[in-house]
Chains A and B, each alone.
Chain A
Amino acid sequence: MISTEPNLVLVGVNHKSTPVEIREKLAFNQVKLEASLEHLVSCPEIAENIILSTCNRVEIYARVDNTDQGIQLLKDFICDYHSLARGSLDQYFYSYCDNQAIEHLFRVSASLDSMILGEAQILGQVKDAYSTARAISSTGLVLNQLFEKAFNVAKKVREETGISERGVSISSAAVELAKKIFEDLENHSVMLVGTGEMAELAAKHLISYGIKTVYVASRTYERAISLAQTLNGCALDFVAFKEELHRADIVITSTAAPTFIIHKEMIEQAIHKRKNKPMFLIDIAVPRDIAPEVNDLENVYLYDIDDLQNVVNANMEERQKEAENAMEIIKEEVTKFNNWFSTLDAVPTIVEMRNRAEDMRKIEVDKTLKNLSHLSESDQNAIHQLTQSMINKILHKPTINLKKKTQSKDGHVYLKAIRHLFHLDD
């Protein structure tokens, strides 16, 4: 029997519902993933399934015959698989069905459910989970369609909202600023003063965006040399760097010096030597390395660690706002997907309804024709044709309306009614 209710379910845990020490126990590793998918799809209650296991979430999406039964089965499976008792874990699981499950997947793929809103990694992970499941045929028409749709939705969200536009880490905010000052980073240079870990990270980030010339200065010259080697740059000693400041478009300071080591006059001189070409100074050190008055100089932009953190916070807030726009897109897409999903339910019902009518017609016509043996064959055919076209005419409007109605919100009520009225589930 084909179920008429939408029967998608999702069971899972994520970083919001479950602490990491539980999550790590519930994760499926890549090696055993295929066996798990195969095991699940061999259960008669489960028609299709996909397992998404990342460091922030473990989720199983499935198409099942019975929603409640399906959810219990999936929870049991996750616990049994990891040899854990279900009782203590029940509080962590969330489960959704139908619309909510669709919406959840769209939100996950579009990175609205991520720890860092708008991060790009999750979409790749969902794609991997899908292709693993597809490769061993644990998916079918519905999950294939659902996941393909989820990828489209994620793309649409990324393109039409600014959810992943703004950097939400110190280094990405710094790179963004550098690109707003210098546009193309390729022909620009960076100088590291101090070899702090965060400065190194920021420099690597800048290098990945095309910066080619790197200078490294440190109180310990050996450290300058070793970092310069890693970054493919040039080491400077701690006295020389002051004379070379004008060569750097971007300066990142991270020394442990207790007082300012770069003063307004030094930058003033550097800017003069640079013929007013702009300089971007990033002071990651605490206590600060660069005197704040430096920012008063024209064509000089100084950001300390707090400034960058403020930028990051503001960007986070902006992403949060963009998430609201993204939700509108997702709601729209859930409705669209549901329309398709519902017509899927209407087709078998329509076929069954027509078959039922045809069967009845045949039985009744045959019964009648037995008593009318004097009729010629062509007369008998005429009676067949007449009754057939009567059936078609009678069922035409219900068929059209059922297709239409199943696309509305309460479509399954109509399907249920038709199945009930025509005794299709007997």
Chain B
Amino acid sequence: MDKISFNLSLFSYLVASVGYFIYLAYRRPLVSTCAGWAVAFGLFCQTVTIGIRSSQTGHGPYTTSFEVALFLAWLMVVVYFLTEWKYKIKDLGAFVIPLVFIVLLFSAFLSKETVLVPESEVRFWLTMHRTLSIMGYAAFSIAFAAGIMYLIQEHQVKTKKLGIMYFRMPSLEVLDDLNFKVIMIGFPLFTLGFMTGSIWNIQMEQPFFSWDLMRTLPLVIVWLIYGLVFFGRMITGLRGKKAAQGAILGFITVVGAYFLHII
């Protein structure tokens, strides 16, 4: 059952990605509406998958790599819907949903074995750590998409070559504002995730500084990059192209850190 719902959600996101690309290129409102429904259906199926899995393990989807990827993809769609509802940027789908599809497709190749974590104080900190971090990553993924859109639009306006995307994509101000807001939310969540992760580490009776450099250093770099963007915004008025580049670089580092983490 959870296999069926998983495959259905994967397929829905693929259909939606193609739909959003068509919308971006040919501006057919019906296609975008259909893509929106496909995403909604995908989200529903994914919720079913997560529900079934959680009922088997008795806790949320954050213990195995597969669960983490599943949960991340799910949250990315939720954040996407919230953003879409607030900003009405339909073209964002063409940048976010393919990303969701890739994350989910990747998770399909991971081990589906369940790991049972008995209820304990350790589990509480693990839950906090993973949930907060994944929420942060989901926000960062939207910042990444908004950053790419910003760079495309900025390049067109700056070089005075106003292509088809110029007319279809939102204004620089809106994209910059979106980038700003999601990092404003994502960075504190990620920071809390980082801190609770350290507590969990202690609970696991590993010394705080038993740093596995390969695993932890990239996360510190991620934290530093988003920290620079976050505080740069607040204090020095960092914005526009640099902020967009920061959001993109940050997300690429997140992906790199993730792979180092699961090796």
A276 touches B157 (CB 8 A): no
Q: How far is the CB of A161 from chain B (nearest CB, A)?
A: 9
Residues of B within 8 A of A277 (CB): 237, 239
A182 touches B160 (CB 8 A): no
Which residues 134-190 of A have a CB within 8 angstroms of B?
162, 165-166, 177, 179-184
Q: 1/0 contact trace for B166-207 toward A, CB 8 Å?
A: 110011111000000000000000000000000000000000
**Which segment of A46-54, A295-303, A334-342 sits at the interface?**
A295-303
**Which segment of A88-96, A306-314, A376-384, A417-425 sits at the interface?**
A306-314
Q: How far is the CB of A243 from chain B (nearest CB, A)?
A: 20
Cβ-neighbour of B158 out of A179, A183, A301 (below 8 A): A301
Main secondary structure of the interface of B (DSSP, over half): helix
Asked if B162 is an interface residue, CB under 8 A from chain A, the answer is: yes
Asked if A275 is an interface residue, CB under 8 A from chain B, the answer is: yes
B162 touches A276 (CB 8 A): no
Asked if B18 is an interface residue, CB under 8 A from chain A, the answer is: no
Complex CA gap A183/B171 in Å reads 5
Q: Nearest A residue to B173 by beta-carbon distance? A: A183
A311 touches B162 (CB 8 A): yes
Q: How far is the CB of A147 from chain B (nearest CB, A)?
A: 27
Counting chain B CB atoms within 10 Å of each CB, the highest count among A166, A181, A299, A310 belongs to A299
Give the number of residues in A that approach B within 8 Å (Cβ atoms): 24
Complex CA gap A165/B27 in Å reads 12
Known: A177-B157, A278-B240, A295-B158. A166 touches B172 (CB 8 A): no
User: How many interface residues does chain B have, given as a range?
Assistant: 20 to 34
B172 touches A276 (CB 8 A): no
Asked if B241 is an interface residue, CB under 8 A from chain A, the answer is: yes
Asked if B127 is an interface residue, CB under 8 A from chain A, the answer is: no
Complex CA gap A301/B157 in Å reads 7
Residues of A within 8 A of B158 (CB): 295, 301
Residues of A within 8 A of B112 (CB): none
Q: How far is the CB of A278 from chain B (nearest CB, A)?
A: 6
Cβ-neighbour of A278 out of B167, B172, B242 (below 8 A): B172
Known: A278-B172, A310-B160. A180 touches B240 (CB 8 A): no
Cβ-neighbour of A180 out of B171, B236, B242 (below 8 A): B171
12 residue pairs A–B, Cβ–Cβ below 8 Å = A165-B167, A180-B153, A180-B171, A182-B171, A183-B173, A184-B173, A275-B236, A276-B240, A277-B239, A278-B240, A298-B241, A303-B160
Taking Cβ atoms with an 8 Å cutoff, the residues of A that contact B are 162, 165-166, 177, 179-184, 274-278, 295, 298-299, 301, 303, 307, 310-311, 314
